[in-house]
Structure 1
Amino acid sequence: MTLSRQLAAGAIVLLAGLIACGTPPAPERLHTDSVNLLLGDESFKARFGRLPRADEEQLRIQVHLEDVLERLRQRSTEGLSPAARAARSRNLERLADYIQRGEFPRNDGHPDARRPTFIDSRGRICAVGYLLEQELGPEVAEAIAADHKYAFIREIDSPLLARWAATTGLELEELEMIQPTYSSEPPYEESYGPIFSLLDPLDGSDGHFSIGSGFLFDGKGDGVPIRLDLSTAFRGSCGLGGYAAISLTKLTGADRSATSLSNMDLGMYFARPVFSGNWLVLRGGLLLPTGDEDEVGSSVNTSVAAKRPAQAVLFQPGALGGRLGASMIVPSALCSSCSLRLDAGLDVYSPFYKALRFSPRWGAGFSYRYQQLVTMLEIAGGRYAETLAARSAIHHSVGLSFRKAASGRSGFQPGLALSIPLENGIKRWFLGFDVTMRFL
C-alpha cells in the first residue's frame, strides 16, 4: 500500500473515531415502577404504612392524586400574580372534581411496564389531560395524545402544552407531581363486573363469600317466606375453581308453616377473558337433595322464586340432578362505567326420584357505576314447575339493586335488592339484603 493510501485510511479511521466519540448516547426512556415519577408511592405508604399491591391499582391512583392535591393546596402562592393565583385555584378545583369522578385511564399499550397514558383506548383521560381539556377543549387533548400518549410531561415536546402550562398557575414540576403512571391491569369491577342480586351470584372473580337475607311481601295471604342465602366460590390461577350455594327458607304466617332447606348447588366453574377483555364463565355442578320432601316445601317455590327465578328448581324438594351454565360479562358496555352480563343454562333433575325434568334458564343484567355506588337492572327467568303437581311453565322476574363496590379488588360489598315476578300482574315483591366479601 502506498504512503498516500495509508494516510487516507488512517484519516478515515481517525475521523470515524472522532465522530463516534462526539455523538452523545441516545437518551434512555424514563421509567418508574411507582405511581409517580417524582413522588413514587410516598402517598400510599404514608396512608397505609406499606407499599401497594398489584390488585390495588384504582386505590393507588386515587390516593396519589388526593395526596398531591393536598400538597398543592398547602403551597404558598405569594409570588403569583392575581391572574395566576385564580388560575391555580381553578385548576385545583378541577383536579378535585376529577378525583371525585374516579374514572382513571389504563395503560393499554405497555403491559410490561407502568406508563403515563394521556387518553386510553376507551376515552378515559389522565389527570393532567383533564385539566388541559377543561381549558382548551377535547380536540386539543386528543391532538397531544395522538403524538405523546405514553409520555411523561418532560418528554412531551409540544409548544401548545408549554403555552397552556404557563397559564395554569402551576409549575411544570407540579404538573409532573400530578401525572400518575398506570398499569395495564383494569380495575376489578371493570374486569368482572359487580355481583348481581337477581342473577346467579357466580361470576369470573377469584373468590367470594356471600350471606344474604330477604322477605317476600305477598298480598295473597299465603304466608311470608323469609329466606337466607349462602354462597361461596374460589378460583385458582389456572381459571378453574369450585363453588357452593345453598338457601334456607322459612314459611311463616300460613296455616302450616314449614322450613324448607333447598337443594345444595355444588360444582366447578372455569373463567377466562375472551374477546378483548370480556369474560366467559362456564359452570357445571350437581343439585343435591337436602330439602323437606312435601308439598309445603314445594309450594314455597311460587313465592321465593321472585328472588332468583333461575334457581327456582332448587326449591323442588328432593330434586336430584345436574346443572350447566354459561355467563358472558362485558365490561365498559355502552360507557366506561357500565357493565353487561348475559346468563344461560340448563338444569336436569328428578323431584322425588320421578321422571326427569328439564329446566332451561336465562338472565341479563346491566349495571352503572358512579364512584362507589353500583346500580343494577336485571331480568331473569326459567321454565320450572311451581309445585310438584303443576306443569312446567315459564316464569320471569325483574329486579333493581344497589351495591357499594369495594375500593380495591377485595373487600366487602353490601347490596340491597328489590325483585318482582312478572306473571299474573304485580301481586308480590321480594326485598333482600346481602353482604358479599370478595377475595382477589
Structure 2
Amino acid sequence: MASTNMGCVGRPVALRGTLRRWQHGLERGRIREHLRRTEAALRDANHDDLAPRQRRRRRRHLDRLADYQRRGEFPTNRTVPERTPLFVGDDEVPCAVAHLLLEDGREDLVAAVMDEEPTVRIEDLPADHPVVEWLEANGLTRAEAARIQPAYPEGVQFATSCGPVPCWFAGALVTLVGTAVAAASELVGYRLASGLFPDNALKRRGLLAYVTIMNLLLAPLVALVLFALFP
C-alpha cells in the first residue's frame, strides 16, 4: 500500500515539474523574442545627433544585448506575484539593462539600484539619476532602455504588456489566428477522415467527432501561446 501511495503522489509531482519546465521555456522564448525585436528596432533608429564616441558605445552595447539575448539566461522572480521588472533576479542573474551596466564595469550602479528598488522601471528614474546619465553617455535614451527592460513573472501568466499594440488588438489577432488554424485543421481532418471506414458509418462518425474535439482544443492552445509570446 505504501509503495502505491508513493507512486500516486510521484506522478502529479513529476507532471508539475514537467509543466513548470514547459512554462519557463515558454517565458524564456517570450523574453528572447522581446529582446531580439528591441535590439533590431534600436539598430534601425536614427541617432545622427550622437557624437562619434556615443555611437561607438551604442553599437557595443547593442552587440552585448544581442549576446545576452542569444544566451537566454534571464532573471527569476520568486517574490513578486505578478510580471514585474527585476534588475537582478533571485538567482543573481541580471536583467538586460543591468547586464549592460555590468559589462561596462559599473557594478556600483547595479548595487545602487538594488539598494534603492530592485523592481524599478527605467522610465520612472529621475533625469539626474546616475543610471540615466550613464545611458545618455553611452548613446541610449531612457525611453530606449525602458523598451529593453522586460518584466519577469513569478510564474508564466497568459497576460502581456502587448508591446506597441493595444492588448485588445493582440487578443483579437491571436483569436483570429487560433480560429484560422483550427478551421484549416478541421477541413483537412474531415477530408482525410471521411475516406476512412467506408463500410462502417459508426467508426467514421466517431473519428470525425474526435477530429472536431482535437481542433476545439487546438484553437485556444495556439491563441494562448501566441498571446504569451507577445513582447
TM-score range, shorter chain: 0.5 to 0.7
Q: Which residue of 1 aligns with 2:49?
A: 79
Q: Which residue of 1 aligns with 2:182?
A: none
> Quick one: distance in 2 between partners of 1:143 and 1:79?
30
Aligned counterpart in structure 2 of residue 101 of structure 1, from 71, 74, 91: 71
Larger Rg: 1
Instruction: Give the total of aligned pairs.
Output: 134
- Deviation readout 1:64-105 (Å, 9 max, x if unpaired): 000001111111222211111111111101101111221100
- CA drift of 1:54 comes to 8.4
Q: Which residue of 2 aligns with 1:131?
A: 100
Q: Which has the higher contact order (CA 8 A, sep 6+)?
A: 2
**Partner SS state of residue 136, structure 1:** coil
Counterparts of 1:249-260 in structure 2, within 5 Å, are none
Q: Which residue of 2 aligns with 1:92?
A: 62
Counterparts of 1:326-365 in structure 2, within 5 Å, are none
Q: Which residue of 2 aligns with 1:168?
A: 138
- Deviation readout 1:9-65 (Å, 9 max, x if unpaired): xxxxxxxxxxxxxxxxxxxxxxxxxxxxxxxxxxxxxxxxxxxx8872110000000
CA contact (8 A) 2:75 2:95 kept: yes
2:35 is equivalent to residue 65 of structure 1:
yes
Cα RMSD, aligned residues only? 2.2
TM norm structure 2? 0.53
Q: Which residue of 2 aligns with 1:121?
A: 90
- Deviation readout 1:256-296 (Å, 9 max, x if unpaired): xxxxxxxxxxxxxxxxxxxxxxxxxxxxxxxxxxxxxxxxx
Q: Name stretches of at least 5 consecutive residues in structure 1 with no aligned partner.
A: 1-52, 187-409, 411-440
> Quick one: distance in 1 between partners of 2:106 and 2:55?
22
- Deviation readout 1:120-141 (Å, 9 max, x if unpaired): 1210100011111111333431
CA contact (8 A) 1:105 1:125 kept: yes
> Quick one: distance in 2 between partners of 1:101 and 1:142?
23
* Bigger strand share: 1
> Quick one: distance in 1 between partners of 2:24 and 2:78?
16
* Bigger helix share: 2
- CA drift of 1:143 comes to 2.3
* Identity %, equivalent residues: 32
- CA drift of 1:144 comes to 1.2
Runs of 4+ aligned residues of structure 1 deviating over 3 Å after TM superposition are none
- CA drift of 1:155 comes to 2.3
CA contact (8 A) 1:106 1:182 kept: yes
- Deviation readout 1:202-245 (Å, 9 max, x if unpaired): xxxxxxxxxxxxxxxxxxxxxxxxxxxxxxxxxxxxxxxxxxxx
CA contact (8 A) 1:88 1:169 kept: yes
Counterparts of 1:410-425 in structure 2, within 5 Å, are none
> Quick one: distance in 2 between partners of 1:162 and 1:156?
7
